[in-house]
Amino acid sequence: MRFRANIENAPIFFRIIQAVEKLQKKCIIKFTEAEMHIICNDDANEGGIQVWSVVKVDSIFTAYRIQSNANNQITMAISTEALLSALKSSSSSAASATVAATVLPAYDADEVVMKLAKKNDQAVLSFEMFGISRTGRRVRVAHDVRIDVMRPADVEKLREPLCPEPDVHILLPPLQKLRTIVERLRALSDVLAIRVNNNGKLQVSVSTDSVKVETQWTGCPNPPMARDAQAQEGEGDEIQDAVDKPDPDKMFSVLVSIRSFLKFLNSHVVSTTTIACICQNHCAILYVYIGEVADAGGVLTFYIPTVLDGDD
């Protein structure tokens, strides 16, 4: 099993882990030849939220080499906090939260090498940074993050949650803005209703005995989904579309735990574009694009299941 890569774009890597770190103490990272998958699927998560993300290797790494008996894939469980602090020291621009989610080169480390190693019979992911200190000296910083390499049999068992075909897709307003509003709503209720239609309307609302609050955006684009166009199930989808289209104003809604929705909103640090999909009364799926959509450097996918209660 061999694995080695240069981290070219540490700020993006840092921000992805930052978004995930709020969710779970440990996450699963699966490296394949072309992609890095970050998976948070702990059942104990707040409101059952899960993250399944795919990042293209090219958008973060260079000189990427991977080799294993399991189809050249390596899957590991890793502490998000430890990984975050390793990445933090690799890049001053990543560490300063004020920098917008633009792609900035690592400032103080010219080279960050990540590789799989074994130290004292313990598998580690070793981060080695070379840079120039402020006084002009060459410095080398190394972090070893303990990992558990997962057996291929266990990896096989990892399954993305199955969802029905979403009823509606919509482009969300800037997550930072959405977050401000949802944070206020958290003081008022535990359950958030998200309602979306095919006419650019998005509503988030809470409803309790003492107050009903509803915030509405209009004119949010409804992107046509590539998945629909490909029509996995042929005619079946077309009929479905034909049924849906006559009424673009029909609202599709899902109730989610506010706290888990806020966890998703933590990904505002990495997001440029976010698309929300609603499977009526089933779940919300949120695609957070890393970098510009056109680049398609990667996507963080959040699954938030509906809250099953009779509050509303």
Partner 1 sequence: MSQTQSQIMSQQSEVEEEAKPVLTASVHDVRYFSALLKGINLSNSNHASVTLTREGGMIVIVEEGRTLLATSYIYPDHFDAWDYTIPEPTRVLSSQLSDLSKADDPEDDRSTSFEIPLNTLIECLNIFGTANLSAATSSAKTKKWRRGEDESDNERGGDNEDNRGGGRGRHRQRESSNAPNNSRLEQYFGANHEKRTSMRLSYGGSGYPLTLLLAEDSTGPTTTCEITTYDPEPMIELPFDGDQTVLKIIFKSSSWLREALSELDPSCDKITFISNPADDVRRAQPRNAATKPLFRILATGSFGSTEMDYPNDREVLETFECTHPISVSYRFGHINKTLRALQSSTKTSLRIEEEGLLSLQFLVPVPKPRGGMSQSFIEFRCLALDDNAE
127 vs 4: CA distance, rounded Å: 10
Residues with Cβ within 8 Å of residue 176, at least 6 apart in sequence: 268
Which residue, 32 or 215, is less far from partner 1 as judged by CB?
215
Which residue, 141 or 181, is less far from partner 1 as judged by CB?
181
Residues 79-117: b if buried by 16+ CB within 10 A, e if exposed: bbebbbbbbbbbbbbbbeeeeeeeebebbbbebbbbebe
Binding of residue 188 to partner 1 (CB under 8 A): yes
Label residue 266 exposed, middle or buried (CB < 10 Å: 0-12, 13-18, 19+).
middle
- Supply φ then ψ for residue 118, to 5 degrees: -125, 120
- Positions in 152-181 near partner 1 (CB under 8 A): 173, 177, 180-181
Least Å distance, CB 204 to partner 1, is 9
State both tokens at 299: 């996507």
80 vs 170: CA distance, rounded Å: 30
Q: Binding partner 1 by CB under 8 A: which of 70, 213, 225, 293?
A: 213
Closest to 110 (Cα-Cα) out of 139, 142, 145: 139
State both tokens at 157: 């068992």
Other Cβ atoms closer than 10 A to 225: 15
88 vs 185: CA distance, rounded Å: 32
With contacts defined by CB under 8 A, name the span among 81-89, 160-168, 182-190, 269-277 that binds partner 1.
Answer: 182-190
Binding of residue 200 to partner 1 (CB under 8 A): no
Q: Binding partner 1 by CB under 8 A: which of 118, 140, 151, 184?
A: 184
Least Å distance, CB 215 to partner 1, is 4
Which residue, 150 or 204, is less far from partner 1 as judged by CB?
204
With contacts defined by CB under 8 A, name the span among 48-56, 210-218, 267-275, 279-287 that binds partner 1.
Answer: 210-218
Binding of residue 107 to partner 1 (CB under 8 A): no
Least Å distance, CB 96 to partner 1, is 22
Which residue, 62 or 216, is less far from partner 1 as judged by CB?
216
Q: Binding partner 1 by CB under 8 A: which of 6, 215, 240, 280?
A: 215
Which residue, 116 or 182, is less far from partner 1 as judged by CB?
182
Residues that bind partner 1 (CB under 8 A): 173, 177, 180-181, 184-185, 187-188, 209-217
